[in-house]
């Protein structure tokens, strides 16, 4: 990889779902990049397109009905969209890897967990059974599963939710990928376990130098671990920023609304302001800015045309809003 290349660069990605009722434009010109050792959080409500973006990067979109209709997914400078399905599959595991929210349904209930981890080495590295099992135990120790040697023959249902997620992480990092995408990795877990899983991901990243994309609907989860954040709404990135300035001064009304709905320890007793309304129906998008029906700052121009997405409002910060950077003085 040359110095000028990012580990991952997504340029103007478009994805649509061809459904019986019409075409749902799930991703509309999404662009972002990620470097080694970096953590990018992709934040949005369900249906915002964050998981579809991840699936498009991995090349695992359910197709049909999902189709990538435009854009590039450059991984170490290679456009994965131009590869054959067979060539692209070779990237999954050793180069790009992904973990999902629901570890229980991702693991096979009828095989011991150690066997399932060992399978990664048997399939990809043609290891013999006992070497692969020994590697599986090492990995289980690496993701801090207590008594790994004894538990390597246990079945998924014999582990807690947090431990199952650790097993999924072990499988995802088995082949030492350059990039790990974690799609809502802690949503099903309680708060203490959430923090432990985040710490583990961070620790593994520090050790290996991999890039990490964290997909979440929960701003609280990413605050302490992400370097940068991309906020998605209706298949667009509506704000992208380093994490600190975003928390201190959100540029987009949607980000501001999300921040206002996160409980803060320093503001005990204050009401949480949830964002009113629902995300738009992708088959019947509102005219103008997609957020306008829910935006407390909306004015005539917002209903007439969509604001540009890639305009830099502050150095390194973009926001797709006519009032970006001027919300403080605007009439809400
Ligand atoms: Fe709200 Fe208008 Fe900005 Fe859209 S462009 S987020 S409707 S103020």
pLDDT in tens, 118-162: 999 999 999 999 999 999 999 999 999 999 999 999 999 999 999
Residue 312 CA to ligand 1 centre (angstroms): 16
pLDDT band at 106 (very low <50, low <70, confident <90, very high): confident
**pTM for this one?**
0.92
- Probe ligand 1: pick from 236, 299, 321, 325, max atoms within 8 Å of CB? 321
Secondary structure of the chain as H, E, C letters: CCCCCCCEEEEEEEEEEEECCEEEEEEEEEEEEECCCCEEEEECCCCCCHHHHHHHHHCCCCCCCEEEEEEEEEECCEEHHHCCHHHHHCCECCCEEEECCCHHHHCCCCCCHHHHHHHHHHHHHCCCHHHHHHHHHHHHHHCCCCCHHHHCCCCHHHCCHHHHHHHHHHHHHCCCCCEEEEECCCCCCCHHHHHHHHHHHHHHHHHHCCEEEEEECCHHHHCCCCCEEEEEECCEEEEEEEHHHHHHCCCCHHHHHHHHCCCCHHHCCCCCCCCCCCCCCCCCCCCCCCCHHHCCCCCHHHHHCCCCCCCEEECCEEECCCCCCCCCCCCC
The structure tokens listed for 234 are: 């209706």
- Probe ligand 1: pick from 289, 306, 313, max atoms within 8 Å of CB? 289
User: CB count, 10 Å around CB of 271?
Assistant: 7
pLDDT of res. 250: 94
pLDDT of res. 310: 74
- Mean pLDDT calculated for residue range 70-86: 96
pLDDT of res. 46: 86
Please give the Cα distance from 183 to 50 (Å, whole number): 9
- Mean pLDDT calculated for residue range 177-189: 90
Distance in Å from the first CA to the final CA of the chain: 47
CA 264 to chain centre: 23
pLDDT band at 219 (very low <50, low <70, confident <90, very high): confident
Nearest CA to ligand 1 atom 3: 321
Contact 260, 272 (CB under 8 A): yes
| Site residues for ligand 1, CB cut-off 6 Å | 252-253, 289, 291-292, 295, 297-298, 302, 307, 321-323
Nearest CA to ligand 1 atom 5: 321
Contact 261, 273 (CB under 8 A): yes
Residue 232 CA to ligand 1 centre (angstroms): 14
**Parallel, antiparallel or unpaired: strands 66-75 and 179-183:** unpaired
Q: Is omega for the bond preceding 65 within 30 degrees of 0, making it cis?
A: yes
Residue 310 CA to ligand 1 centre (angstroms): 15
- Probe ligand 1: pick from 231, 298, 327, max atoms within 8 Å of CB? 298
Residue 4 CA to ligand 1 centre (angstroms): 35
Contact 92, 58 (CB under 8 A): yes
pLDDT at 263 over 70: no
Please give the Cα distance from 200 to 37 (Å, whole number): 14
The structure tokens listed for 307 are: 């604001």
Residue 322 CA to ligand 1 centre (angstroms): 6
pLDDT at 102 over 90: no
Residue 29 CA to ligand 1 centre (angstroms): 18
Ligand 1 atom at minimal distance to the Cα of residue 330: 8
Ligand 1 atom at minimal distance to the Cα of residue 296: 1
pLDDT of res. 220: 80
Residue 133 CA to ligand 1 centre (angstroms): 55
pLDDT of res. 4: 52
pLDDT of res. 192: 85
Q: Which has the closest alpha carbon to 92: 116, 63, 59, 136?
A: 59
- Probe ligand 1: pick from 256, 258, 295, max atoms within 8 Å of CB? 295
pLDDT of res. 1: 47
């Amino acid at each position: 990889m040359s110095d000028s290349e990012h580990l991952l660069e997504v340029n103007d990605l478009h994805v649509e779902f061809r459904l019986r009722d019409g075409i749902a434009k799930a991703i509309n010109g999404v662009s972002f990049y990620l470097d080694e050792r970096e953590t990018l959080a992709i934040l949005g409500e369900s249906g915002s397109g964050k998981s579809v973006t991840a699936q498009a990067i991995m090349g695992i979109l359910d197709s049909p009905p999902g189709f990538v209709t435009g854009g590039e997914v450059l991984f170490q400078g290679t456009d994965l969209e131009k590869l054959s399905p067979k060539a692209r599959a070779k990237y999954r595991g050793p180069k790009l890897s992904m973990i999902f929210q629901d570890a229980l349904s991702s693991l096979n209930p009828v095989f011991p967990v150690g066997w399932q981890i060992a399978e990664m080495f048997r399939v990809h590295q043609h290891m013999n059974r006992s070497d692969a099992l020994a590697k599986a135990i090492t990995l289980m120790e690496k993701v801090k599963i207590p008594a790994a040697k004894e538990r390597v023959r246990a079945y998924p249902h014999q582990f807690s939710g947090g431990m199952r997620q650790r097993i999924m992480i072990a499988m995802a990092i088995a082949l030492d990928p350059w990039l790990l995408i974690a799609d809502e990795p802690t949503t099903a877990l309680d708060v203490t376990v959430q923090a432990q899983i985040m710490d583990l991901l961070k620790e593994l990243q520090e050790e290996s130098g991999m890039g990490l994309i964290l997909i979440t609907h929960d701003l609280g989860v990413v605050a302490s671990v992400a370097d940068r954040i991309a906020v998605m709404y209706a298949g667009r990135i509506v704000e992208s920023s380093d994490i600190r300035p975003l928390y201190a001064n959100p540029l987009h009304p949607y980000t501001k609304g999300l921040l206002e709905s996160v409980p803060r320890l320093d503001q005990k007793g204050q009401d949480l302001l949830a964002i009113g309304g629902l995300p738009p129906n992708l088959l019947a998008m509102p005219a103008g800015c997609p957020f306008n029906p829910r935006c407390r700052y909306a004015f005539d121009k917002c209903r007439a045309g969509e604001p540009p997405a890639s305009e830099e409002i502050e150095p390194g910060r973009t926001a797709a809003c006519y009032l970006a950077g001027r919300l403080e003085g605007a009439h809400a």
